[in-house]
Structures are given as C-alpha cells and as structure tokens.
Chains A and B, each alone.
Chain A
Amino acid sequence: MAFLVLEHVSKRFGNLIAVEDFHLAVEKGEFISLLGPSGCGKTTVLRMIAGFELPTTGRIILEGEDITRVPPNRRNIGMVFQSYALFPNMTVAQNIAFGMRVRREPEHRIRERVDELLALVHLEDKRNSYPHQLSGGQQQRVALARALAIRPRLLLLDEPLSALDAKIRVTLRSEIRAIQRQLGITVIYVTHDQEEALSISDRIVVMRAGKIEQVGTPFQIYNFPQTSFVASFVGMLNTAEAEVLDPQQGLLQLDGAHLLSADPGLRRRKPGERVRLSIRPERISLAGEQLKDNLLQARVEDITFLGAVVRIQLRLGNTLFYMDTFNNPHLALPTIGSTVQVTCSKEAVMVLE
C-alpha cells in the first residue's frame, strides 16, 4: 500500500463543493505538488490531510493507519503556512523547539536538534532573534525548521513562497527541494504557480473546481497535457480552432493554411470536424535552414524581450499566436510588420479533448 492514500475524498461547505472525489496515492519520499487556480480546492485537500478540515466523504490513510478523524495535534504532520505563522512572542530557537517542548523531550536533545535545524536552514546567527526582526525569507526558513523539528511523517506546505519576492522565491524553493531530498521526507506542496510546481515536484496534481484534472511528472504535465485546462494552465500555450481534413494523415486546416499533426487522438475525428489544437510557443521556430513538417507564413505583430527568451507575436489570417526563441545577440530579429516563414514539427501540434 502507498505511504499516503486519499481515498475518494470529498469536502462540502454547505452547498459549495470544495473537493470532489479526490483520489491519490503518494509514495514515501515523494514530492507532490497540488497545482491549480485559487479556489480549486487544493488548500482544502491539504487542510484535510493536516486535520484542520474533516472530509465529508472518503478516508485519509497514512502508513496504513486511517487518520481521517485523528485530531491535528496527534497526526505528527508538519505544516508550513503562507503567512509563516511564527509565534511572535518566541525567539527563533524557541519557535523551532516548540513542538519538542510540547512532547516533553529532554532539554539536551531539544538543544541538539535546534542547532541541527538552524544549520540546515542557514540561520545559526539568528537563534535569538524574534520573528519581526527577520526578513520574509528568513521567517519562512524558521517555519520550515519548526515543522521539521518534530520529525514529521509528512510535511505539508501551503503556498509557502507566495508572500516572498521573485528572487528569494527561486532560491528558497531549491533549498526546500534540497532539504526534502536530504531528509527523504514526503512532501505535499500547494501552489498556484506552475513554474514552481514544474521545477520542484516529482509529480504534479493539477486541480480545477475541486477535481483532479491530471496527475503526472512535470515532464508529462508540460509535454502531454490531457485536457485543455491543463494545457493552458501549465506553461504558455497557443490554441486555435482548426478543421480536420484527413484524420488518418493528421491533416488539418487552420485559417487557410495546411497543418500536419502527429496527435494520435486525431484518428478518432471525422473529416470536416472542428477541433481545438495547441502548440507551445517554444516549439515554433523561424524557418531557416532546418525545415520541419509544417511551414507557415505569418506577419510579425509584436516582439517582447523577456531576457533569455524573445517572444514574438504572429498573425496567421485571423489567428494570433506566439513564438518563443532564444535570445541570440548574433542573430537579427524580424521587424514588426514584416512577413516571416515559421516552422514546427507535427509532434508539436496537439489536439485538445
């Protein structure tokens, strides 16, 4: 049996269905992200695992034990909150020691563990500081150390980086991942930031309106989205409506241009049927020496410089779409208003359900 199982869990608040038939098995040591827009139920799932909410139906099983009705203080599950939730009246060391003091662990063991954790989160010199004397990133590190101090069976993180600025967010998330790998702890991580979920997780659970849309590795979620919601929520995506010309050949028509797709789902469609197709911006390139399966002529509408990447907005008939290309100072970019030839492989053209 898996380490943690959420067995067809649902949660209703009055008439509102927050989570519906949520089924997930998590292996020991896995890093799972719950990803979705706000209000999709991801935090409710986390709060049910923590014991702050009781599921309306379904069971939660941790290490073979049904913990659905176990109170939160008896679960031994660590939690890190978006607002840090450090105890303002306690120093950093006292915050970290709190869980062990509650468990009446011997004082020398507490001291050792606090030292160990302060070193783990690189805050040895802040031991006697109060939370209000720390930056947001430092406070969240303390919160992480405090949650780890009790050697939890499971660590839950509820949008822990949302309140921090971009640079710290990126460093801290790799620190969290490194600590998770070092300790081998199982983590459930809630976020609405797809880049965060992609970069940190072993598996991602994409949620929408209380239900699971897709579960998969970051690679699967990004490259093979199973629903149009996942495709559009994770990463930048061009979508457009096209007409099926020949399902067996994978031939489509988009605004007068012919397009080949290798999507196996296309075989089930009939000629003349309208489908929604999608292409990632980075899969389109300017047609230079390397020509791929599809060649299209488009007008350059806009160019946005994003640092490492340059995003070019193109118009094909009535369809607007984006193309991402690496920023190369030795290559000239097309000018706005000019017509260019772009190319993409047939594997890049996906048909959404």
Chain B
Amino acid sequence: MRKATLWNWFWILLGLLYFFLPLLATFHFSLRARKEALSLLAYQQMIEDTRIWQALLYSIQIGLLTIGLGLLLMVPTVYWVHLRARYLRPMIEFFSLLPFVIPAIVLVFGLIRIYSGDPFPLTNTYAGTDFLLIAGYVVLTLPYLYRAIDAGMTAIDVATLTEAAQSLGAGWGTILFRVIVPNLRSAMLGAAFLILAIVLGEFTIASFIVGLRAFGPVIWQVGQNRAYEASALVIFSFLLTWILMALINFVARRAVVTSGPR
C-alpha cells in the first residue's frame, strides 16, 4: 500500500517536471533581458509594443466571429442529423475529421488559389481576407466544434425533447432556442474557448492570408529577432490559455449545477 503511494507520487512528479521544466526555463530566460540581473524588461517591452496588442485584439475578433459562424453552421446541422438523418452521422463525422488529415498549408493554398481571382476575388480587400480567414478557421476548428455539439446532443436525447416541445405547441425556432441550445450551453462554451485558443495561436493560415495583422505571425516575428521578448510572449500566451481553460471548467461546472445529469 505504502509502496504504491510512493510510486504514484514518483510518476506525478515526473509528469509535472516534464510539463513545467521547459516552461520554467522559458520564464527564467524571459527575465534575463538585462545582462547583469533578473528583470521584467522583456515584459515591459512586450507591453509597450502596440503591434502585439493590435494583433491580439484582431485575432480575438476573428476568433469570436469564427465561433459565431461555426455555431450558426453546426448547431442546426447536427440537430437535424440527430433528429431526422441519423444515417448521415458517420459521414458528417468523417468530414469533420478532414481538417486533422489535410494540413493547414494545403488548405490555405487551396483558399488562395480559388479566392484570389474571379468570380470570388476575396484576397484583394481587408474585409475579403478577414472573411477568408474566418472561413478557413471554421473548417480548421470543425472537429472540435462538431464533437462538442454532437456529444452535447447525445447527452440530452434531442429527439424526445423536440417531440415533447412540439406536443406543447412549440415551433422550430422556440424548440431550437429555448429547449435545445440552452441545454447545449456547456458543450458550446467548451468548444468556443477551445476555438478561441486555437485561433489565437494559429500561424499557417493567418500568415498567408492576413500576415502580421494576426497574433500568431506576430509572435513568430518577435521570436525571429527579439528572443527575450518572445519568451515573455510565450509565457503570456500560456497564461492566456490557462485562463481560458479555467473559464471552461468554471462554466462547465456551473452548467452542471443548473442542468445536471439526467
């Protein structure tokens, strides 16, 4: 018994070291922008760099729009599949997994080829490239969004809830917005935060379509010539991701309190 506990602690410690040692090293490095002593100089420079904050804001906006468009597209689709076309489920699942199989670089070249000329000249304007970026991200994050919504719908037996609402006189809009969506809240929020985290860190698609307007390419550029500041930025993005994760947990737990297990 005692021996087993000891081993448990050993493995936990090993795991923690594996995760946190590189992080601690990066943190330590980020504090050494001044040669003579440890300092927060890199962080100060990072905070003063307006480009970084503009890019972050831009990426957050793109992320939120991606979440909005993705939900608008996937919630009704997955709902309909659950309700009337369950035989389509394997196919939808397959398509939703394609972004895992097709590298982002292939996706972005495809997008640029098709949308850089007639009949859809989207790459010529800022609005056009923003839209293209959002569309690309919707595809890229599809696996996460689909899985989350699908799991959420499986958990609440949408078919019976829909019939119950119908028998009480509800139309499709009422059913979707007052019965189905409120019960998917935690699933949707979980997926939303995940998508936001992915969009904030994404480099490939962003760098080809919008370049240094997005956060990912900016981190990369900073890393190219300002090593200390880049480390500070890494630590900062890590914290940002953690905050998002904590929010997911918090929201999911609150959702359990209100809707609970069936």
Nearest B residue to A139 via CB reads B262
Q: Which positions 86-139 of chain A face chain B at CB distance < 8 Å?
A: 86-89, 98-99, 102-103, 130-133
Asked if residues A85 and B183 are in contact (CB atoms below 8 Å), the reply is no
Size of the A side of the interface (Cβ < 8 Å), in residues, is: 32
CA distance A131 to B171 in the complex (A): 23
Asked if A102 and B174 make an inter-chain contact with CB atoms under 8 angstroms apart, the answer reads: yes
- Residue pair A89, B167 in contact (C-beta under 8 Å): no
Total residue contacts A-B, CB cutoff 8 A: 81
Encode A22-60 as 1/0 by CB contact (under 8 A) with B: 000000000000000000000000000011100000000
From residue B173, how far is it (CB to closest CB) to chain A in Å? 11
A83 interfacial by beta-carbon distance below 8 Å: yes
Indicate whether A73 sits within 8 Å of B167 (C-beta atoms), given known contacts A88-B156, A88-B183.
yes
Among A74-82, A243-251, A343-351, which stretch is in contact with chain B?
A74-82
Contact of B167 among A50, A86, A88 (CB under 8 A): A50
- Per DSSP, chain B at the interface is helix
B161 at the interface (CB under 8 A from A): yes
Q: Please, which residues of chain A bring their CB within 8 A of the CB of B262? A: 88, 131-132
- Chain B nearest CB, measured from A113 CB (Å): 13
Instruction: State whether A147 touches B167 (Cβ < 8 A).
Output: yes
Selected A-B contacts with CB under 8 Å, 12 pairs: A50-B167, A52-B163, A77-B167, A79-B167, A81-B160, A85-B157, A85-B164, A87-B164, A87-B179, A98-B168, A102-B174, A150-B168
Given contacts A72-B163, A102-B174, A132-B259, 14 further A-B contacts (CB under 8 A): A72-B167, A73-B166, A74-B169, A75-B167, A81-B164, A85-B160, A87-B164, A87-B165, A130-B258, A131-B260, A132-B261, A147-B167, A150-B169, A156-B167
Interface residues of A (CB under 8 A from B): 50-52, 71-79, 81, 83, 85-89, 98-99, 102-103, 130-133, 143, 146-147, 150, 156
Measuring CB to CB, which residues of chain B are less than 8 angstroms from any residue of chain A? 156-157, 160-161, 163-171, 174, 178-179, 182-183, 185, 258-262
